[in-house]
Chain A
């Protein structure tokens, strides 16, 4: 039943939709039409598969984390190694999909938003690969604290625009990218980095990312001969998590947990609102102003969340919990030391939650954790706390 969402107008129950200025309806209609056409197109699917395999490095391993499992002394822990994707995170899965679509739509100017720079780097990478013009909007605050990623994007040939409006972070970068698109609706393709924004983005990004869950499902079955008992993933906008969760939503025996950053927990601490073209849970004041967020992990530092997550929360299919900065740093350390894998601070939130989760589980059970990215980018941040 869940598999069929969103409906034709992009709604997941009351969530999602298209809360955008009229100017954007036409490009969104064109994008939806193109996506629906090409997602079933054999040649498109083959090309996507080709680049995912030969360029991005898929399938990524599902790795049995033996020492981490022993450390907790409970269920078997499997890590879905999205950190091994090219550019170091799951973001590339979606970027390749969207850019192949942009090429078919004849759009040569690509715009994207980025927070810490992960999606910006992935988009710049994809644009270099396919020979497309790339403009990345990034909040002024993030430009200052992520200088290395700014340089990486420039090295890849992208133009990075520093956004000076509002709180000068990710939410403002998304506003500015949408504004650019409003000014250039005909020749420009907006390559959005998460399962947020107006329809068709939440659906399309989910579909491109669900390669994570499809692979994990088969890989886990090969190991265990059954479905996993739990899935755990971090949730900012929610693209790595929806990618892992989606292929399991109709398996009622699989329990699913999304971990939000405590300082940016739209689902756990927000209320229903409208931001960036979508009705969803939003962190806002009593009078409806969007709140600024704080998380040690820039990738989770976002005031809203993908509308499908809002729906999954309300129907009770997915349980959403929080982990704070300290928990995340603990997760960062424990995985580094037990497995020799330095996780991204985003993914570290999911690792940290295992401490609570594994207490009540036994050795015959298994958990898949989405290791959405690698932690090299976070070394400087983590060093401040050592």
Chain B
């Protein structure tokens, strides 16, 4: 069982997202430990990219702050190497396909395995464009989980195909649009989760627009996991680093108290 699967076997999973290197790799490292302590089960690390298509202004700004420090994929692998000396919490990379293209797909998966990255989410790489990478992964028999996204606009046919291609978990985009805080949780979550469950027993985590404990608890009613990004990144933008673990802990409590 992969570390990601193990995490889902225990409890409703909380997945905070931060951009690696925002505002520095040192702070990212510290936040990983603190968020784990505060109740995170998996950490999603965004790899900085100049043009993150699926992201709203809050996470775009985080990418740009990290890029001011010239943070590259290689730097983030070095960070993972360091983090792995202290914790085995599952780490998932969220990155744009261009970064993998440039790094070299084979080398990328080799390094994920070598340094201890558990899963990869590439929001601009639907399963149809995965051909080459799937081949590499099969050949290498790597244990890197490939997490694909389902959107409210996905047809049943696509949900079936995505569920089949996905490993680790299925990432449900809660509402149409980009990442960012939303005042109200999408009322489509329940319906889409049940549509996905018709096709798979794999765990489902919901993200995009979940920005407070109430919303996290509500989403956890239907899904197996909750992903929270912009609300945390906003604290980092304000340099309120101490508040991050408090916030993660409040999400944890709300999810558990459901």
Cross-chain contact A22 with B173 (CB below 8 angstroms): yes
**What residues on A are CB-neighbors of B67 within 8 Å?**
289
**What residues on A are CB-neighbors of B173 within 8 Å?**
21-23
- Chain A minimum-CB-distance residue to B148: A22
Cross-chain contact B51 with A25 (CB below 8 angstroms): no
Q: Mark B228-247, 1 if CB is under 8 A from A, else 0.
A: 00000000000000000000
Cross-chain contact A182 with B149 (CB below 8 angstroms): no
How many residues from B make CB contacts under 8 Å with A? 41
**What residues on A are CB-neighbors of B176 within 8 Å?**
23, 182-185
**What residues on A are CB-neighbors of B51 within 8 Å?**
166, 171-172, 175, 275-276, 290
- Chain A minimum-CB-distance residue to B67: A289
CA A183 – CA B56 in complex, angstroms?
Answer: 11
Cross-chain contact B155 with A274 (CB below 8 angstroms): no
**What residues on A are CB-neighbors of B101 within 8 Å?**
272-274, 279, 288
Interface: A364 (CB within 8 A)? no
Q: Mark B47-60, 1 if CB is under 8 A from A, else 0.
A: 00111011011001
The distance from the CB of B26 to the nearest CB of chain A, in whole angstroms, is 20
How many residues from A make CB contacts under 8 Å with B? 39
Cross-chain contact B57 with A165 (CB below 8 angstroms): yes
Interface: A64 (CB within 8 A)? no
- Chain B minimum-CB-distance residue to A184: B176
Cross-chain contact B96 with A274 (CB below 8 angstroms): yes
Cross-chain contact A284 with B150 (CB below 8 angstroms): no
**Which of B7-15, B120-128, B210-218 sits within the interface?**
B120-128
Q: Mark A164-203, 1 if CB is under 8 A from B, else 0.
A: 0111000110010011001111000000000000000000
| 8 Å CB contact of A20 from B99, B124, B178 | B124
Interface: A287 (CB within 8 A)? yes
Cross-chain contact B162 with A289 (CB below 8 angstroms): no
Cross-chain contact B177 with A17 (CB below 8 angstroms): no
Q: Mark B106-139, 1 if CB is under 8 A from A, else 0.
A: 0000000000000000011110110000000000
| 8 Å CB contact of B99 from A183, A276, A288 | A288
Cross-chain contact A23 with B74 (CB below 8 angstroms): no
| 8 Å CB contact of A284 from B102, B152, B178 | B102
Q: 18 interchain pairs (CB within 8 A)?
A: A19-B124, A20-B53, A20-B124, A21-B149, A22-B123, A22-B148, A26-B151, A166-B64, A178-B53, A182-B177, A185-B176, A274-B96, A275-B51, A279-B129, A284-B98, A287-B74, A288-B98, A289-B49
